[in-house]
């Protein structure tokens, strides 16, 4: 029965010119980590070998005239078992080409997740996006080694860059010239994080909020590649009566990111600077102002490379007029090479944290906006170091 099914699929694939492929990956690691939870805490050191399976991906693609489609079925383990089914396609009519993708994700802890795709249409110069969009990027250029050391930005383990992700809205990307591209986007959604990142956690009694935000970016290749993104928005209660009792139930966000990449004829440098200013208001106003900076270096040596990165983040949290500060710095250095078909990375990283009395460096806020609690934050004097050797193989 299975042989007959396989033969049928093969004949159909040949008849309709679909290309099929299957790929997988795996990695093995050695890790030595040392950490201190505070300036007076004992150092804890662990050493371990480990391994992990990557994704198994079954893929197929097909093109016919001005239309094309690609299908994939991915099996993955990322804290739990995931199945992701994706179908993307594009069609050209005249000078315009439309494209979209359907992506369903089912994990072992829940039913299949709802997909919210976008539709894009382009003539090669201008591209219009509508749906779940991300035409304006964060401008993050942070590199590094296989080890841990880079410090988190956005208080939720994000990379340093404008605090912008994907969101429901409409946007346009326009190629001004061969070297300059601009983009703009408008977000309008209900009960959604501002620019896909910063949520209103003030607890509106109507249980419904409206989000409106705007973002724009410009990218220019003028020797170095320079990118700048800016975004601002607001989330507030839909029910205006929510504002008449214990506060405004409002959140606002302003963020920017500047990324610069410079090719020095082999070696390359990358720099990112970003800021986040967020406010959440109910009976008390909470203000969060963060600044991040990252500097990366890469030196290719044939198929090998030496990499390094330095990151620095500062956080200021003001609750009802009382402000506290926290900061962190991180360093990563590494060497990457190949042994036949296997990639090998060796890296060392370290990070250190400081904070005012009663404050912590927040780094694990998740999707509910900024986290300023001591439960997940890094205390004053906390530090960590990480030595890692990683082998990876894909087939």
Of 131 and 206, the one with more pLDDT: 131
The predicted pLDDT at position 156 comes to 79
Whether residue 86 has pLDDT greater than 80? yes
Q: What is the pLDDT of residues 10-53, one digit of tens each?
A: 445 554 568 999 999 999 999 999 999 988 899 999 999 999 99
Which letter does DSSP use for residue 141 in this model? -
Phi, psi of 353 (to 5 degrees): -135, 145
Q: Is the pTM of this model over 0.85?
A: yes
The predicted pLDDT at position 360 comes to 86
| CA–CA dist 42, 196 (Å, integer) | 39
Query: What are the tokens at 101?
Result: 């993708």
Q: What is the pLDDT of residues 170-229, one digit of tens each?
A: 999 999 999 999 999 999 998 889 999 988 766 555 567 889 999 999 999 999 999 999
The predicted pLDDT at position 285 comes to 85
Whether residue 91 has pLDDT greater than 60? yes
Could you tell me which residues come within 8 angstroms of residue 361 by beta carbon, excluding any fewer than 6 positions away? 313, 315, 326, 327, 328, 353, 354, 355, 377, 378, 382
The predicted pLDDT at position 196 comes to 92
Residue 30 Cα to chain centre, angstroms: 26
Of 55 and 242, the one with more pLDDT: 55
User: May I ask the CATH architecture of the domain 18-54+116-394?
Assistant: Beta Barrel (2.40)
Domain range annotation of the chain: 18-54+116-394
Residues 381 and 366: beta-carbon distance below 8 Å = no
Q: What is the pLDDT of residues 368-382, one digit of tens each?
A: 445 444 446 889 999
Of 242 and 351, the one with more pLDDT: 351
Mean pLDDT estimate for the chain: 87
Predicted confidence band of residue 7 (pLDDT cuts 50, 70, 90): very low
Predicted confidence band of residue 247 (pLDDT cuts 50, 70, 90): low
Residues 62 and 20: beta-carbon distance below 8 Å = no
Highest mean pLDDT: which range of 96-105, 152-161, 180-189: 180-189
Predicted confidence band of residue 114 (pLDDT cuts 50, 70, 90): low
230: region left, alpha or beta (phi > 0 left; psi from -120 to 50 alpha): beta
| CA–CA dist 54, 27 (Å, integer) | 7
The predicted pLDDT at position 241 comes to 66
Whether residue 245 has pLDDT greater than 60? no
Q: Is 66 exposed, middle or buried (0-12, 13-18, 19+ CB in 10 A)?
A: exposed
The predicted pLDDT at position 80 comes to 78
pLDDT > 70 in the chain, percent: 86
Predicted confidence band of residue 249 (pLDDT cuts 50, 70, 90): confident
Q: What is the pLDDT of residues 334-389, one digit of tens each?
A: 999 999 999 999 999 999 999 999 888 888 754 344 544 444 688 999 999 999 99
Range in 13-17, 32-36, 147-151, 307-311 with the lowest mean pLDDT:
13-17
Per-residue exposure over 298-311, b if at least 16 CB sit within 10 Å of its own CB, e if not: beeeeeebebbbbb
């Amino acid at each position: 029965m299975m042989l007959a099914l396989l033969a049928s699929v093969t004949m159909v694939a040949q008849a309709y010119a679909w290309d099929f492929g299957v790929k997988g990956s795996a990695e093995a690691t050695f890790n030595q980590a040392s950490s201190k939870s505070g300036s007076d805490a004992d150092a804890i050191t662990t050493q371990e070998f480990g391994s992990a399976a990557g994704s198994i991906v079954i893929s197929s693609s097909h093109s016919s005239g001005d239309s094309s489609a690609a299908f994939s079925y991915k099996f993955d383990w990322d804290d739990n078992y995931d199945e992701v089914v994706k179908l993307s396609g594009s069609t050209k009519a005249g000078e315009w080409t439309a494209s979209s993708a359907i992506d369903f994700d089912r994990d072992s802890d829940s039913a299949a997740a709802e997909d919210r795709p976008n539709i894009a249409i382009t003539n090669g110069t201008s591209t219009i996006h509508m749906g779940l969009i991300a035409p304006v990027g964060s401008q993050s250029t942070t590199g590094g080694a296989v080890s841990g050391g880079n410090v988190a930005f956005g208080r939720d383990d994000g990379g340093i860059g404008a605090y912008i992700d994907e969101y429901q809205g409409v946007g346009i990307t326009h190629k001004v010239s061969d070297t300059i591209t601009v983009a703009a986007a408008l977000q309008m959604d209900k009960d959604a994080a501002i620019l896909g990142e910063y949520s209103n956690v003030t607890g509106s009694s109507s249980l419904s909020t409206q989000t409106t935000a705007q973002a724009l970016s410009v990218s220019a290749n003028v020797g170095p590649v320079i990118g700048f993104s800016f975004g601002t928005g607001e989330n507030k209660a839909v029910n205006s009566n929510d504002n008449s009792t214990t506060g405004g139930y409002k959140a606002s966000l302003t963020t920017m990111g500047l990324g610069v990449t410079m090719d020095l004829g082999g070696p390359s440098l990358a720099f990112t600077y970003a800021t986040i200013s967020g406010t959440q208001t109910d009976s008390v106003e909470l203000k969060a102002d963060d600044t991040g900076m990252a500097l990366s270096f890469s030196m290719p040596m044939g198929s090998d490379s030496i990499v390094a990165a330095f990151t620095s983040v500062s956080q200021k949290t003001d609750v009802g007029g009382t402000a506290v500060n926290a900061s962190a710095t991180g360093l990563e250095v590494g060497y990457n090479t190949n042994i036949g078909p296997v990639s090998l990375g060796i890296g060392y990283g370290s990070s250190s944290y400081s904070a005012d009395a009663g404050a912590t460096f927040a780094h694990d806020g998740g999707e509910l906006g900024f986290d300023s609690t001591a439960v997940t934050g890094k205390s004053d004097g906390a530090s960590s170091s990480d030595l890692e050797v990683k082998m990876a193989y894909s087939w």
